[in-house]
Amino acid sequence: MKVGTILIFCCVLFGAALFPAPTQSSNNAIFSQRINGTFVAISGRSAGRTGQFSLIVNNYTAPNQVRLLNEALGRGGQDALLDELSKMDAGRIQLGSGIGVPANAIIAEPWGDGGTRLTVFYQRDVRFFELRYGTRSENYRVGYAEIFLNRNGRGEGTLIPAARVRLRDGNTWEVEDFGAFPARLMGLRASGQVVPR
């Protein structure tokens, strides 16, 4: 399978600082949102496969948490990043009918005319045979999604189920896909509200 860098996630540290996490308010409320849609695999053995995609957002990752992730990546590479991610829980990401995995970090930034860009990082489940046989995919231990929602809560995005992350120039995250292309996220619709705690 071809390996290629297909996506650059730029200035993660500063972008998140511009859009503070709306998880808390003066009336002690929490934020809950669900984004549903369809994923379409573009390449690899799963090319053409489609299924349900869901992202449950319990909170946005705060700027100080993003700084911790950036520092960890700079200090110890992807292993340190994964260690820091394991301490975070921002929601849940689901593909198909399974229960999914924790979405460790969900970073929100303003996008377009009143829209929102969500960047999601999660620890993917590394399968036994990958560990047993030391396959190349074992080094691609991060899951990554990028979602663009307009002001009406509709949009699209991309999903990289197996990625490797590196830091460039101190604040630019380079995301490398194990496959040739990411999966597409289509027909996304967001629903949710601020719910009193």
Cα 170 to Cα 167: distance, rounded to the nearest angstrom: 6
* C-alpha distances in Å from residue 45, one per residue of 17, 51, 73, 175: 39, 15, 31, 21
Instruction: Examine residue 117 and state whether it is found in any structural domain, yes or no.
Output: yes
Q: What is the pLDDT of residues 149-183, one digit of tens each?
A: 999 999 999 998 888 888 888 778 888 887 656 78
In a domain, residue 36? The reply is no
Number of domains comprising the chain: 1
The one-letter amino acid code at 76 reads: G
**145 in a domain, yes or no?**
yes
Domain that holds residue 137: 4-21+51-190
pLDDT digits (tens, 9 = 90+) for 65-97: 999 999 999 999 999 999 999 999 999 999 887
Instruction: For residue 167, give both structure tokens.
Output: 């830091």
- Dump the DSSP string for 12-52: HHHHHHHS--TT--TT-EEEEEEEEEEEE--SGGGTT-EEE
Q: What is the pLDDT of residue 131?
A: 40
- Please check whether residue 46 lies inside any domain of the structure: no
The answer to the question of residue 40 being in a domain is: no
Q: Is the dihedral of CA 55, 10, 2, 79 positive or negative?
A: negative
Indicate whether 32 belongs to any domain. Answer: no
Residue 127 maps to a domain = yes
Looking at residue 125, the DSSP 8-state letter turns out to be -
CA distance 82 to 125: 12
| 190 SS3 class | strand
Residue 34 belongs to some domain of the structure: no
